[in-house]
C-alpha cells in the first residue's frame, strides 16, 4: 500500500530511469551466465553482422558482442559504484571536518589539497595516476578515487559550513551536546543526504570516465571486456563492421542516461517532498 | 455552485456604494476559481470568488498564508504561474471587458497599463544591476525602443510622485543601493508609469519595518486621493488594511467569506473567522487582554474539509456547518458573509 | 530588589566583514530579574538579534560583559556544562531551520532530555512526550516527520526542546514573526503561560510592538546598536520620552495617525 502510493508520487523521469537501469542490470547479470558464448575467448566465426544467433554480431576474434557488451557493462558499473562509494565516504568525511574546522591549520592544509586537486583537469590527473599505478582495474579505480574524493569534499565542505551555522545546530550546542554528538547526529546526516544526491549524478560522469580511460588505453586492458576498450577496438573496423563499436556505445549511452534520469529524479523528489 | 451569486444583481460589492450599477464597476469578479498544477494533480487555490471594485474604491483582502489572496490578485492581472496556473471558471470583467481567456498579447494592453501591479517582493521585481532610471524608463516607454526627453521627465515626475527625495541621484543608482522602503517606492512608481485606473498591491509592506511601513501606507492613501485611482491591497494584517481601505474582504482556505465596509467589519465582524482573526491580535487599547486563539491550523490547499472550510476550528460550528459545499455569500444589508449562522449573530 | 539573573554591562559586539569591522551592538547595559519578561524592541539592523545571541553565548563580545545566573556566559563553541544548559536556552526566529530535519519531534526532545537530565532512553522519551504534550503537540504529531509540521508546530517543538533543559532563562528571538497571526497568538499565549507557570525569566526580542506590549513587563527600545529608552512597558508605550520611541509607537497601523480615507464613496 505504502509502496504503491509512493510509486504513484514518484517522479516520472525517475521511474523511467529506474526501469531502464533495471533492464540493463538484469541483462548484464544474466547475459554472461545464460549465454553459451564466452566473453573473452572467441568461438564463433569473426565479423558476423547481427543475427538471431548473435544479436549484436561478432567481433574480429569471433566473440559475441552482445555477451561482451553486457559483461563489460557489469564491470564498468561495479567499478563506478566502488569508486563513487569510496570517494563519497572519504570526501564527505574530509569535507565535513573542513567545514567544521574553521581556521585551524589542519583544515587549512586540507583546503589547499582539495582545491589543488579540483583545479586540475580531471582526465589529465587521472592519466597521471594510471601512468604510475599501471593500466589495470586497480589503476582505474585508484585514478578515479584519488581525483574524485576532492569533489565530494568540496560539496561536503560547503554544505557543512551552512549546516554548522543553522539554528538547530546552535540549539544543540546551547543544550550542551558534546562536539561529537553535534557532528554525528546533527551535522553529518544533513550533509550526507546532499552528498548522496551529488554522488548519484557523479556516477554517470565516473562511468563515462572509466570508459574514456580505457578508450585511451589507460584503463582496463583487452581482452577483459570493457565498454570504452570495446569501442576503441572496433573503431578501426567501423566501416566494415559497425556493430563492434556501435552496440557497446549504445549500451554505454543508455546506462549513462538511465542513471542521469535517476539522479535528476532523486534530486527533485528530495527537494520538493 | 451558488448559482444565485453569478447574477450581477446578487454580486457582493467590494465598494460600499451599494447603489452603483454593475456597468459602473471598474472590476467585477464573479464565480472565479483558480487552480494550480501540483505533483498530485490540479489543486484549487481560489474557490468561486465574487466581488467588485468601484472606480476610486479601495478594497483590502485579508487572509493568512494559503488563503488564496495572492493567487487571486495574480489572476486579476493574468500572471498566474505559467506552468499549470489557470482560472478554471468564472468571469473577470474589467470595465465591461472579459479578461478570462484573454490572449497574452491583449493582456499587455491591460496589465501595467490599465491595472498596475506591485508584487510581494520589491527586491525580486527590480533588476539588481540596471540603474533605477533605466528601469523606470522602460516602464514609462512601455517597451517602445526610443526614449525621448518627455519620457525622462516622466521618470523624474514619478519618483517625485512617490516622494523619493533626491530623485535625480536615485535614477543613477541600483536597487541594492536603496533601502527596502525606497525600493518599494520605486516599484510603486513603476506600477504607476502608465497611469493605471487600478493599482493592485500584494502584501506591500510585509518585509518592511514598522516606521517604513507607515510611510508606504501613507503614500498609498495619498496617491489614491491625488490620482483618483482604485486600490486593491492584500495583507495578512487587518490593521494595514484599515489604514488604507474603505472595504475589506476576508479570505480563508481559498474562499471569500466576508465583505464589508472596513469600519463596520472592525466594529462587528460577521463571520466567526474574521472575528477570531481580530481577537488574535493585540488590542491597542488593552494590550494585556488575553489573545483569542483559533484552535488547530488552517487546512492546506487540496485538503479542505467538506461544508464550511472553517468549521473544524470554529467555536460556533453546528452540524449543518459540516456538510455540503462551502456556503455561498449571503447579503446582510450592505455586508456579505458566508457563515450560515450570520442571522443569529446580528 | 533581588539579584538580577542577567546583567549585561557596556556590551560591544562587532562583526568582521570584508569592508572592515561593523559594530552591531555599541555599549548596552541591561538587567533582567528572575521570573521577569523583558522585551527588546527595535527595527531591522538595530542589533537586537545580535544582543540576544550574545546573551546566550552564540556570539562573542568585543568588550563588556554578560553575566548570567552569577557567572560570565560561556561561549557556545567551548564545552558547555549541564549547568550552562540549565541556565539559558533560546527560541529562534526561523521555524524551518531551528529543528533538525532528520529528527522527529519526539527524538529531538528526548535527546535534549537525555543529555540535560541524564535520564535513560525510556524515561527520556516519556518525559519528552510530556513536554511536547504541554506545549500542545499531539502524540501523533510527536512521531511525524519534522518536514510535515507547520511553522507554528515547529516553534512549539523548539520550546519543548528548550524546556527539556529546565532553564531559568528563555531568550526568544522573534519567535512569531514568521507565523500567521492566529498561529502567533496561540504561541504568545503559550509563552506567557510558561513564563508564569515556571517562573522563568524571558527575554523577548521583537520588531512588533504589539506582541512586546502583550508579553513584556519591562521593555528596552533599541536603535542602531544602543538602547534609546527603557522602562515599564506601559510607561514606555503610553508616554514615550524619546523621539524614536514616539515615531515607533505612532507608526503602528491602527494607532490613529495615518488613517486617512480618500474621497471614497463611503456612504452610511
Q: Which of A261, A201, A219, A44 shows the shortest CA–CA distance to A227?
A: A219
- Say yes or no to pLDDT of C258 above 80: no
Mean pLDDT of C75-81: 75
The neighbouring-strand residues paired with B176 are: none
Cross-chain Cβ contact B65/C207 below 8 Å: no
In a domain, A151, yes or no: yes
pLDDT of C253 reads 85
**By the CB < 8 Å criterion, does A273 face chain B?**
no
* Residue A58 DSSP class: B
Q: Distance from C156 to chain B by nearest Cα, in Å?
A: 13
What CA–CA distances, in Å, run from B210 to A84, B206, B218? 53, 9, 12
In a domain, C260, yes or no: no
Mean pLDDT of C189-212: 94
Cross-chain Cβ contact C162/A178 below 8 Å: no
- Say yes or no to pLDDT of B194 above 70: yes
- Say yes or no to pLDDT of A225 above 80: yes
In a domain, C261, yes or no: no
Which contacts qualify for C127-130: CB closer than 8 Å, 24 or more apart?
A: C127/C164, C128/C160, C128/C164
Are B16 and B26 spatial neighbours (Cβ–Cβ below 8 Å)? Answer: no
Quick: pLDDT tens for C94-117: 999 999 999 999 999 999 999 999
pLDDT of B207 reads 81
**Edge-first strand listing for the sheet containing C88-91:** C88-91, C169-173, C201-206, C37-42, C218-223, C226-232
- Say yes or no to pLDDT of B102 above 50: yes
Chain B partners within 8 Å of C264 (Cβ)? 16, 56-58, 246
Chain B partners within 8 Å of C210 (Cβ)? 281-282, 284, 287
What CA–CA distances, in Å, run from A65 to A24, A27, A32, A131, C119? 15, 13, 11, 29, 65
Please give the Cα distance from B190 to B128 (Å, whole number): 15
pLDDT of A29 reads 86
Are C30 and C221 spatial neighbours (Cβ–Cβ below 8 Å)? Answer: no
Quick: pLDDT tens for B295-306: 888 898 888 999
Cross-chain Cβ contact C116/A176 below 8 Å: yes
Mean pLDDT of A250-258: 94
Are A79 and A141 spatial neighbours (Cβ–Cβ below 8 Å)? Answer: yes
The neighbouring-strand residues paired with C172 are: C91, C204
- Say yes or no to pLDDT of C158 above 90: yes
pLDDT band for position B217 (cuts 50, 70, 90)? very high
Domains of chain A: total: 1
For chain A positions 126-185, those within 8 Å of chain C (CB to CB) are 166-168, 170-179, 181, 185
In a domain, C40, yes or no: yes
Q: What is the DSSP string of chain C?
A: -PPPSEEEEEEEEEEEETTEEEEEEEEEEEEE-TT-EEEEEE-TTSSHHHHHHHHHTSS--SEEEEEETTEEPPPTTSPPPHHHHTTEEEE-S-TTTSS-TTS-HHHHHHHHHHHHH---HHHHHHHHHHHHHHTT--HHHHTS-GGGS-HHHHHHHHHHHHHTT--SEEEEESTTTTS-HHHHHHHHHHHHHHHHHH--EEEEEES-HHHHHHH-SEEEEEETTEEEEEEEHHHHHHS--SHHHHHHHHHSTTSSSS----S-----
Mean pLDDT of B322-327: 93
Share of chain A above pLDDT 70, in %: 95
Are C106 and C113 spatial neighbours (Cβ–Cβ below 8 Å)? Answer: no
pLDDT of A6 reads 57
Q: In this structure, what C-alpha cell is assigned to residue C158?
A: 523548539
Range of the domain at A64: 2-46+56-272
Least confident of A88-92, B10-14, B319-323: B10-14
The neighbouring-strand residues paired with C11 are: C28
Residue C183, CB-side half-sphere exposure with 13 Å CA sphere: 22
Mean pLDDT of B271-285: 90
pLDDT of B1 reads 35
pLDDT of A224 reads 85
In a domain, C147, yes or no: yes
Q: Which residue of C has its CA nearest to B275?
A: C182
CATH label of the domain that carries residue C166: 3.40.50.300
Cross-chain Cβ contact A272/B40 below 8 Å: no
Closest Cβ opposite residue A174 in set C82, C90, C147: C90
Please give the Cα distance from C202 to C185 (Å, whole number): 17
**By the CB < 8 Å criterion, does B70 face chain C?**
no
By CB atoms closer than 10 A (0-12, 13-18, 19+), residue B104 is: exposed
CATH label of the domain that carries residue A81: 1.10.3720.10
Chain A partners within 8 Å of B40 (Cβ)? 9
Quick: pLDDT tens for A188-215: 989 988 898 899 888 999 999 999 989 9
- Say yes or no to pLDDT of C259 above 70: no
Range of the domain at C27: 6-44+56-200+214-224+236-241
Residue A10, number of CB atoms within 10 A of its CB: 17
- Provide the pairing of β-strand B230-235 with B198-202: parallel
Q: Distance from B4 to chain C by nearest Cα, in Å?
A: 26
In a domain, A172, yes or no: yes
Residue A66, number of CB atoms within 10 A of its CB: 23
Chain C partners within 8 Å of A273 (Cβ)? 147
Quick: pLDDT tens for B36-67: 988 778 899 999 999 999 999 999 999 998 89
Phi-psi domain of B142 (left: phi exceeds 0; alpha: psi -120 through 50; beta: other):
left
pLDDT of B146 reads 64
Cross-chain Cβ contact B17/C267 below 8 Å: yes
Please give the Cα distance from B153 to B147 (Å, whole number): 10
Domains of chain C: total: 1
In a domain, A51, yes or no: no
Quick: pLDDT tens for B230-254: 999 999 999 999 999 999 999 999 9
Please give the Cα distance from B130 to B132 (Å, whole number): 6
pLDDT of B76 reads 95
CB contacts < 8 A, B to C, total 127
pLDDT of B289 reads 87
Please give the Cα distance from C50 to C43 (Å, whole number): 13
Cross-chain Cβ contact C252/B239 below 8 Å: yes
Closest Cβ opposite residue B221 in set C214, C260, C267: C260
Amino acid at each position: 500500500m505504502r509502496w504503491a502510493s509512493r510509486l504513484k508520487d514518484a517522479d516520472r523521469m525517475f521511474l523511467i530511469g529506474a526501469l531502464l537501469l533495471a533492464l540493463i542490470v538484469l541483462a548484464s547479470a544474466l547475459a554472461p551466465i545464460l549465454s553459451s558464448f564466452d566473453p573473452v575467448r572467441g568461438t564463433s566465426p569473426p565479423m558476423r553482422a547481427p543475427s538471431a544467433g548473435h544479436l549484436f554480431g561478432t567481433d574480429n576474434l569471433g566473440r559475441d558482442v552482445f555477451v561482451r557488451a553486457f559483461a563489460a557493462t557489469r564491470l564498468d558499473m561495479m567499478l563506478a559504484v566502488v569508486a563513487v562509494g569510496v570517494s563519497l565516504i572519504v570526501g564527505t568525511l574530509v569535507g565535513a571536518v573542513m567545514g567544521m574546522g574553521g581556521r585551524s591549520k589542519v583544515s587549512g592544509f586540507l583546503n589547499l589539497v582539495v582545491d589543488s586537486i579540483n583545479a586540475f583537469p580531471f582526465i589529465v590527473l587521472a592519466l597521471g595516476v594510471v601512468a604510475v599505478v599501471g593500466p589495470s582495474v586497480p589503476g582505474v579505480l585508484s585514478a578515479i578515487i584519488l581525483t574524485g574524493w576532492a569533489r565530494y569534499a568540496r560539496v561536503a565542505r560547503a554544505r557543512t559550513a551552512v549546516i554548522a551555522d543553522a539554528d538547530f545546530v546552535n540549539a544543540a550546542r546551547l543544550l550542551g551536546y558534546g562536539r561529537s554528538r553535534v557532528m554525528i547526529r546533527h551535522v553529518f546526516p544533513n550533509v550526507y543526504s546532499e552528498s548522496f544526491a551529488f554522488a548519484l549524478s557523479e556516477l554517470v560522469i565516473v562511468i563515462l570516465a572509466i570508459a574514456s580511460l580505457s578508450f585511451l588505453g589507460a584503463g582496463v586492458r583487452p581482452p577483459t571486456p570493457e565498454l570504452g576498450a570495446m569501442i576503441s577496438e572496433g573503431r578501426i573496423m567501423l566501416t566494415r563492421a559497425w556493430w563492434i563499436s556501435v552496440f557497446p556505445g549504445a549500451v554505454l549511452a543508455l546506462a549513462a542516461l538511465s542513471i542521469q534520469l535517476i539522479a535528476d529524479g532523486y534530486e527533485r523528489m528530495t527537494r520538493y517532498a | 455552485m451558488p448559482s444565485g451569486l453569478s447574477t450581477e444583481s446578487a454580486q457582493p460589492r467590494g465598494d460600499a456604494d451599494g447603489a452603483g450599477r454593475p456597468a459602473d464597476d471598474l472590476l467585477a469578479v464573479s464565480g472565479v476559481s483558480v487552480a494550480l498544477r501540483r505533483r498530485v494533480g490540479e489543486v484549487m487555490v481560489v474557490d468561486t470568488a465574487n466581488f467588485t471594485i468601484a472606480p476610486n474604491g479601495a478594497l483590502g483582502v485579508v487572509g493568512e498564508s494559503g488563503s488564496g489572496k495572492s493567487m487571486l490578485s495574480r489572476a486579476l492581472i493574468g500572471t498566474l504561474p505559467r506552468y499549470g496556473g489557470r482560472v478554471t471558471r468564472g468571469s473577470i470583467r474589467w470595465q465591461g471587458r472579459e479578461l478570462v481567456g484573454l490572449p497574452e498579447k491583449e493582456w499587455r494592453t491591460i496589465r501595467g497599463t490599465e491595472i498596475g501591479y506591485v508584487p510581494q517582493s520589491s527586491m525580486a521585481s527590480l533588476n539588481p544591476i540596471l540603474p533605477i532610471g533605466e528601469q523606470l524608463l522602460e516602464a514609462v516607454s512601455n517597451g517602445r525602443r526610443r526614449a525621448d526627453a518627455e519620457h525622462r521627465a516622466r521618470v523624474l515626475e514619478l519618483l517625485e510622485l512617490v516622494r523619493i527625495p533626491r530623485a535625480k541621484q536615485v535614477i543613477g543608482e541600483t536597487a541594492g543601493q536603496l533601502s527596502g522602503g525606497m525600493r518599494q517606492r520605486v516599484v510603486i512608481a513603476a506600477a504607476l508609469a502608465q497611469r493605471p485606473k487600478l493599482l493592485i498591491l500584494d502584501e506591500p509592506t510585509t518585509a518592511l519595518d514598522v516606521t517604513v511601513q507607515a510611510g508606504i501606507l501613507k503614500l498609498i492613501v495619498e496617491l489614491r486621493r491625488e490620482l483618483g485611482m482604485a486600490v486593491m491591497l492584500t495583507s495578512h494584517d487587518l490593521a494595514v488594511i484599515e489604514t488604507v481601505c474603505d472595504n475589506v474582504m476576508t479570505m480563508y482556505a481559498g474562499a471569500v467569506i466576508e465583505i464589508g465596509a472596513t469600519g463596520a467589519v472592525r466594529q462587528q465582524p460577521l463571520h466567526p473567522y474574521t472575528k477570531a482573526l481580530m481577537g488574535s491580535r493585540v488590542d491597542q487599547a488593552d494590550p494585556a487582554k488575553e489573545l483569542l486563539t483559533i484552535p488547530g491550523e488552517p487546512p492546506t490547499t487540496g485538503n479542505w474539509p467538506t461544508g464550511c472550510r472553517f468549521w473544524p476550528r470554529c467555536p460556533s460550528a453546528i452540524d449543518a456547518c459540516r456538510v455540503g459545499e462551502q456556503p455561498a455569500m449571503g447579503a446582510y444589508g450592505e455586508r456579505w458573509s458566508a457563515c450560515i449562522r450570520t442571522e443569529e449573530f446580528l | 530588589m533581588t539579584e538580577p539573573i542577567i546583567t549585561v554591562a557596556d556590551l560591544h559586539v562587532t562583526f568582521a566583514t570584508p569592508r572592515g569591522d561593523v559594530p552591531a551592538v555599541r555599549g548596552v547595559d541591561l538587567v533582567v530579574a528572575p521570573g521577569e519578561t523583558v522585551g527588546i524592541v527595535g527595527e531591522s539592523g538595530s542589533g537586537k538579534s545580535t544582543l540576544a545571541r550574545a546573551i546566550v553565548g552564540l556570539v562573542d563580545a568585543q568588550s563588556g560583559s554578560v553575566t548570567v545566573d552569577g557567572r560570565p556566559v560561556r561561549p557556545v563553541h567551548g564545552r558547555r556544562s549541564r549547568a550552562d544548559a540549565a541556565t539559558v536556552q533560546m527560541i529562534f526566529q526561523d521555524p524551518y531551520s531551528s529543528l533538525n530535519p532528520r529528527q522527529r519531534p519526539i527524538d529531538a526532545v528526548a535527546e535534549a532530555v537525555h543529555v540535560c537530565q541524564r535520564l535513560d532512553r525510556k524515561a527520556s522519551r516519556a518525559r519528552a512526550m510530556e513536554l511536547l504534550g504541554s506545549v500542545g503537540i499531539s502524540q501523533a504529531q510527536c512521531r511525524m516527520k519534522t518536514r510535515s509540521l507547520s511553522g507554528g508546530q515547529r516553534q512549539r517543538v523548539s520550546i519543548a526542546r528548550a524546556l527539556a533543559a529546565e532553564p531559568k532563562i528563555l531568550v526568544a528571538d522573534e519567535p512569531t514573526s514568521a507565523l500567521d497571526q492566529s498561529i502567533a497568538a496561540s504561541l504568545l499565549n503559550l509563552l506567557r503561560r510558561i513564563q508564569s507557570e515556571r517562573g522563568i525569566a524571558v527575554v523577548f526580542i521583537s520588531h512588533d510592538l504589539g506582541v512586546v506590549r502583550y508579553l513584556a513587563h519591562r521593555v528596552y527600545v533599541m536603535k542602531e546598536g544602543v538602547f534609546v529608552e527603557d522602562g515599564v512597558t506601559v510607561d514606555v508605550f503610553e508616554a514615550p520620552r524619546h523621539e524614536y520611541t514616539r515615531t515607533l509607537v505612532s507608526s503602528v497601523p491602527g494607532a490613529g495617525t495615518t488613517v486617512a480615507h480618500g474621497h471614497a464613496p463611503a456612504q452610511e
